[in-house]
Amino acid sequence: MSHHFREIAARAVADGVIDAQEVLALRQVVWPDGVISPDEAEAILLLNDHVREHTPEWTDFVVEAVGEFVVNGCAPRGYVDASTADWLIARIDHDGRLDSMTELELIVRVLERALNCPDRLKAYALAQIERAVVFGSGPTRDGGSLSAGSVSTSECVLLRRVIFAAGGSGPAQVSKPEAEMLFRIKDATLDGNNAPDWERLFVQGVANFLQGWKRPEQLTRERAGQLEAFMDDRTTNVGRFFSRMVQTAPNGLLSSLRGTGFGRRGTGAHSVAEARADFEVTDSERLWLDAQIDADDTLDPLEQALLRFIMQEEG
> Which of 100-114, 125-139, 227-241 shows the lowest mean pLDDT across its residues?
227-241
pLDDT band at residue 272 using 50, 70 and 90 as cut-offs:
very low
Q: Assign 116 to helix, strand or coil.
A: strand
Q: Which residues contact 154 (CB under 8 A, 6 or more apart)?
A: 140
DSSP structural state of residue 175: -
Average pLDDT over every residue of 29-51: 88
The pLDDT of residue 304 is 95
pLDDT tens digits, 286-299:
999 999 999 888 89
* More reliable by pLDDT, 134 or 171: 134
The pLDDT of residue 164 is above 80: yes
Give the percent of the chain with pLDDT over 70. 73
The pLDDT of residue 136 is 82
Average pLDDT over every residue of 112-116: 92
Q: Assign 35 to helix, strand or coil.
A: coil
Region class of 108: left (phi > 0), else alpha (psi between -120 and 50), else beta: alpha
pLDDT band at residue 181 using 50, 70 and 90 as cut-offs:
very high
Give the mean pLDDT of the chain: 80
* More reliable by pLDDT, 170 or 10: 10
pTM of the entire predicted model: 0.76
The pLDDT of residue 133 is above 60: yes
The pLDDT of residue 276 is 44
pLDDT tens digits, 213-244:
555 455 555 555 554 554 455 555 545 444 54
The pLDDT of residue 139 is 77
* More reliable by pLDDT, 173 or 251: 173
The pLDDT of residue 33 is above 90: no
Closest CA to 197 of 131, 189, 98: 189
Cα–Cα distance between 176 and 283 in angstroms, integer?
A: 15
Cα–Cα distance between 253 and 236 in angstroms, integer?
A: 19
- Cα 89 to its chain centre, rounded Å, is 14
The pLDDT of residue 53 is 86
The pLDDT of residue 239 is 52
The pLDDT of residue 277 is above 50: no
